Amino acid sequence: MTRRKYVMDFERPLIELEEKLAELQRLDLSGNPELLEEVNALAAEVEHLKVDTYQHLSPWDRVQIARHPERPKTQHYVEALFEDVVELHGDRAYGDDEAIFAGLANLSGRRVAVLGHRKGTNTKENIRRNFGSPHPEGFRKAMRVIRLADKFRLPIVSFLDTAGAFPGIEAEERGQAWAIAESLSLLSAVKVPVVVVGIGEGGSGGALAIGFGDRLIMLENAYYSVISPESCASILYRDAAEAQTAAGCLKMTAPDLVDLGLVDQVIPEPLGGAHVDSATVMAAVGDAVSTALDALSGIDPQELVDARYERLRSIGEWCTIDEG
Amino acid sequence: MSIADWLSQRESRRYTKAGAEAAGGSNDVPDGVWVKCDECKRTLYEGELVESGRVCRYCGHHLALTAPERIELLSDEGSFVEFDAELVSCDPLGFVAVKSYNESLEKAREKSDLPEAIVTGRATIGGMPVILGVMDFRFIGASMGSVVGEKVARAFEAATEDSLPIVLVTASGGARMQEGMLSLMQMAKTSAAAQRHAEARLPYVSVLTNPTYGGVTASFAVLADVIVAEPGAIIGFAGPRIIEQTIRQKLPKGFRTAEYMLNHGMIDEVVPRAALSEHLGLLLAYLSGATAVAGGGAE
């Protein structure tokens, strides 16, 4: 058994037991039937614990899985699902933000525009890509490609995986809020289908800027939230360590968001998370995106935009009180 | 107190001058008492503050206004007619942290005497009919949940329907955490409604007041044709604490004030409160060209 590079807190007891079991199984126990029986019992226990650990995930456990360094990222989906990929660079105003991927690609015979937050797979990449947290120029690059898709009638596929828009001095000075707001109004009005897939983290406005459309598909352990659980905890509890509690309160997991009527489809992940069997998960995402695009492709462009507007307009819950 | 009781006790004359005074100033001090300026810490006479629109006579600092005070300051006397006041927040997530969301809502309603963090309606400014929306920071930091989002979207739709300009005065801590993703999605909803209003070639002027943050800045607040800000107002995306924690350095002095954002090209102008109402009239007159020519029936 290969030793795992990265272990999430909640799976630590299981991993430790698995390693102990592996050690025991390496021993030659043919002359010791009693011990062999015990090892077999332990194996059954490990299997039981595995199912128990991964089938009863708390919202905070899911956040850990969503952030897992080995979890498939936008670039992996782009490589696995699309052909003839042309990456497009730059916002034509300031720079090229590597925290956002934007390009043109072929999804099983259908030409599309692809957007996504892009985290790195190693430290070097992560520094260049700012750990997937875009600056305004990243959103402005996305907007440029959204306009291009609208102009040439290319459906848009967008992959969400960001802790959030970067909160820094320069990002503020260059109009982080302006870039997000403009992307929201643009995306609300494009006359091509927009299919969004939450593959990992869906952090607040930075996710939303390329994160709504005609369909929202989410991986089982992806999250989408108004605020990170850590920030929520530090505001409400004055203690970031309460993030576990906040993750539950915020109703940010894919199953929660189905209950709130915000998510159209949840793609199941193998026990332990998408990184356990990336190929299968990515293929399932490809199928779901194609099916969604098939369903949206015949719709009249104005009807599509009107339906998207109605979809947004229906979000929210309140009470009505008779005055006087 | 139940919501219904509270609403029945609410004074209907809130938007007259007497009503605004009855609702109280932002510092919760009755008439005739001395108030300290948040900025220069000098003592100001409450009666004088009411006269000056709550601007400090010593340092020019613009103290917070309540929504009724702001409406009185901006709109022609007696012209404001509120709509959608019957929309109140429920607790869609069953959110309980240190205190429950329902508790926070009840406190906010008592403190502000308002049903929610924004008041929207019809008014005239300099004789010109407009849709006017004003946020009130006393109500859970004027955060945007379902009701604020819905009222903003309806305000844009009313303006689009009747071919009217819209003026929105913002102050907000951002999206309302206690309604989770429903709040985040209000950013997209309000931006979409603003976009439809813009496509009808109708004017939208936003007035950013202290402070305007997060999901409100990053949605409808900055989608205006002309963005005006009050002197000294802090305007930004991320909260100051989040930025300091992320970059591990202190923020520069004057960071993200209206004047700072003006220098960085993010807003059109900084207009002192005393000149605001007249200035809005001027802007709306310039921006109403398309409406006047098309006879209000754009598209």
CB contact under 8 A, A181 and B252: no
Report chain A residues whose CB lies below 8 A from the CB of B10.
323
Report the gap between the CA of B242 and the closest CA in chain A (Å).
7
Checking if the pLDDT of B3 tops 70, the result is no
Distance CA A113, CA A32 (A): 63
Question: Which residue, A68, A59, A93, is CA-closest to A248?
Answer: A59
Return all residues near A6 (Cβ < 8 A) that are at least 6 apart: A68, A69, A70
Specify the residue for token string 């009693």.
Answer: A34
* Nearest chain A alpha carbon to B253: A169
Interface test with B, best of A133, A185, A194 (most B CBs within 10 A): A185
pTM: 0.92
The complex's ipTM works out to: 0.95
Q: Tell me the average pLDDT of chain A.
A: 95
- Provide the β-strand partners of residue B139: none
Out of A167, A212, A321, name the one closest to residue B188 (CB): A212
B146–chain A Cβ distance below 8 A for any pair: yes
Task: Quick: pLDDT tens for B34-90.
Answer: 999 999 999 999 989 988 999 999 999 999 999 999 999 999 999 999 999 999 999
The secondary element (H helix, E strand) that includes residue B3 is helix B3-9
Chain B, residues 46-75, CB within 8 A of chain A, namely: none
Contact between A159 and A195 (Cβ < 8 Å)? no
**Residues listed for chain B:** 299
Q: What is the pLDDT of residue B297?
A: 40
B246–chain A Cβ distance below 8 A for any pair: yes
Mean pLDDT, range A66-74, rounded to an integer: 97
Chain B, residues 81-100, CB within 8 A of chain A, namely: 85-90, 92-93, 95-98
Interface test with A, best of B120, B156, B184, B253 (most A CBs within 10 A): B184
Report chain A residues whose CB lies below 8 A from the CB of B150.
316, 318
Report the gap between the CA of B123 and the closest CA in chain A (Å).
21
Q: What is the pLDDT of residue A74?
A: 98
Question: Which residue, B178, B120, B187, B157, is CA-closest to A235?
Answer: B178
* Nearest chain B alpha carbon to A173: B264
Task: Quick: pLDDT tens for A234-255.
Answer: 888 888 889 999 999 999 999 9
Task: Quick: pLDDT tens for A201-233.
Answer: 999 999 999 999 999 999 999 999 999 999 999
Provide the 3-class DSSP secondary structure of residue B196: helix
> Which alpha helices (H) appear in chain A, and where do they start and end?
12-26, 33-55, 59-66, 74-81, 123-128, 136-151, 169-173, 176-189, 204-208, 229-236, 243-249, 254-259, 278-297, 301-313
